[in-house]
């Protein structure tokens, strides 16, 4: 049986790729800086090697056969990866077909993905994004295993990144005490005693042994009545709206919530310091062109001046009111 791959001149794949991209011998020749006859000769050799016509003539150029389309679907991802590895400075997001896995909380998904997805649809239409839950403890290991390419959120692992983990702050997150509009604590002085005695909920992620706000209270010799810890922000707001639970949560959650008209924010008696909201990645991706393009795109789209803490008793403002 003839070993086609062993005998195949791999330079012919460059011609094949150009013909698949251009659908025209003349334009393929221009793309490769070759003569039209050189491209035609390469196509003839490729047809002989693969025992298929590969491209049929049309009025405007050439059309790939079923065999050519089948071959290209198998070869293209590896061809693009090889081209990128050999010529990293020639990265073109319009042509990149890679997949990136990003770890995010539901808060990050709502803040980042609508605008990012729209931008990528125009500037990187073939790039794929897969989302996975944000996990504080597992993040370094996920980077090491290659399960995550990028993360977006607050890096809360003892307030310092692990070895090899990079962060770029986009903005500081300010925190408020959120509650339903007719909550008993929504009016009048929010004293420390009333605040600590109320039924609290929190949102935590895998690996957070003690919620950040509880660590802060403990440093002041205080303890709140923490009853419920969830792993997502959206249900937390729904629970707050329907009950007497309160929560010290990011102020801007109000602007994202469908419940914003029914919620109010107040400054907690023990103020939570702002925390950095970051793009997070492993240093081995520092110089990878596609990865660098993606994180620089996110930074350029979303980095902005510091958010201001919510005013005491301030109802949520509608988006666009800023």
pLDDT in tens, 24-46: 898 888 878 888 899 999 999 98
Residues 199-238 pLDDT 10s:
999 998 765 678 889 999 999 999 999 999 998 999 999 9
Domain 174-274+309-315 belongs in CATH node 3.40.50.720: no
| Residue 305 pLDDT class (50, 70, 90 cuts) | low
User: Domain spans of the chain?
Assistant: 4-88, 99-172+276-302, 174-274+309-315
Per-residue pLDDT at 195: 98
User: What CATH number was assigned to the domain covering residues 99-172+276-302?
Assistant: 3.40.190.10
pLDDT range class, residue 322, cuts 50, 70, 90: very low
pLDDT of residue 155: 67
Each residue of 93-132: pLDDT tens digit?
988 888 899 999 998 999 999 999 999 999 999 999 999 9
Among residues 17, 132, 23, 33, the alpha carbon closest in space to that of 72 is found at: 17
Tokens of 230: 């969830």
pLDDT value, residue 317? 39
What pLDDT was estimated at residue 320? 32
- Which residues are CB-neighbours of 213 under 8 A, at least 6 positions away? 175, 202, 224, 248, 272
Alpha carbons 13 and 10: distance in angstroms, whole number = 5
Q: What is the mean pLDDT of residues 300-321?
A: 51
pTM summary value: 0.66
SS3 string of 172-230? EECEEEEEECCCCCCCCCCCHHHHHHCCEEEECCCCCCCCHHHHHHHHCCCCCCEEEEE
Segment 75-103 mean pLDDT: 78
Please check whether the two domains, 99-172+276-302 and 174-274+309-315, share a CATH topology: yes
Q: Is the pLDDT score of 168 beyond 80? A: yes
| Architecture of the CATH domain 4-88 | Orthogonal Bundle (1.10)
Tokens of 127: 């790039």
Supply the DSSP string of 223-271, one letter for each residue.
---EEEEES-HHHHHHHHHHSS-BEEEETTHHHH-TTGGGEEEE--SSP
């Amino acid at each position: 049986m003839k070993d086609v791959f062993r005998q195949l001149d791999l330079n012919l794949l460059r011609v094949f790729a150009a013909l698949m991209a251009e659908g025209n011998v003349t334009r393929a020749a221009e793309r490769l800086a070759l003569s039209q006859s050189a491209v035609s000769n390469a196509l003839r050799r490729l047809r002989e090697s693969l025992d298929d016509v590969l491209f049929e003539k049309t009025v405007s150029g050439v059309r790939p056969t079923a065999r050519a389309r089948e071959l290209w679907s198998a070869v293209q991802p590896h061809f693009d990866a090889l081209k990128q590895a050999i010529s990293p400075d020639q990265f073109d997001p319009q042509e990149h077909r890679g997949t990136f896995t990003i770890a995010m909380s539901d808060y990050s998904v709502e803040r980042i993905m609508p605008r990012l997805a729209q931008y990528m649809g125009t500037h990187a239409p073939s790039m794929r994004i897969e989302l996975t839950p944000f996990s504080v403890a597992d993040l370094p290991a996920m980077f090491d295993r290659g399960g995550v390419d990028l993360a977006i959120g607050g890096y809360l692992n003892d307030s310092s990144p692990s070895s090899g983990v990079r962060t770029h702050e986009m903005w500081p997150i300010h925190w408020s005490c959120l509650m339903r509009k007719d909550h008993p604590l929504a009016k009048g002085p929010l004293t420390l005693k009333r605040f600590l005695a109320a039924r609290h909920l929190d949102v935590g992620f895998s690996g957070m042994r003690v919620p950040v706000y509880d660590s802060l209270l403990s440093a002041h010799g205080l303890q709140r009545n923490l009853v419920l810890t969830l792993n997502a922000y959206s249900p937390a707001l729904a629970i707050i709206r329907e009950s007497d639970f309160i929560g010290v949560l990011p102020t801007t959650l109000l602007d994202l919530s469908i419940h914003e008209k029914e919620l109010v924010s107040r400054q907690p008696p023990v103020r939570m310091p702002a925390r950095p909201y970051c793009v997070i990645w492993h240093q081995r991706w520092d110089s990878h062109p596609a990865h660098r393009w993606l994180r620089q795109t996110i930074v350029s789209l979303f980095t902005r001046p510091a958010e201001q803490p919510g005013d005491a008793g301030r109802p949520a403002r509608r988006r666009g009111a800023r």
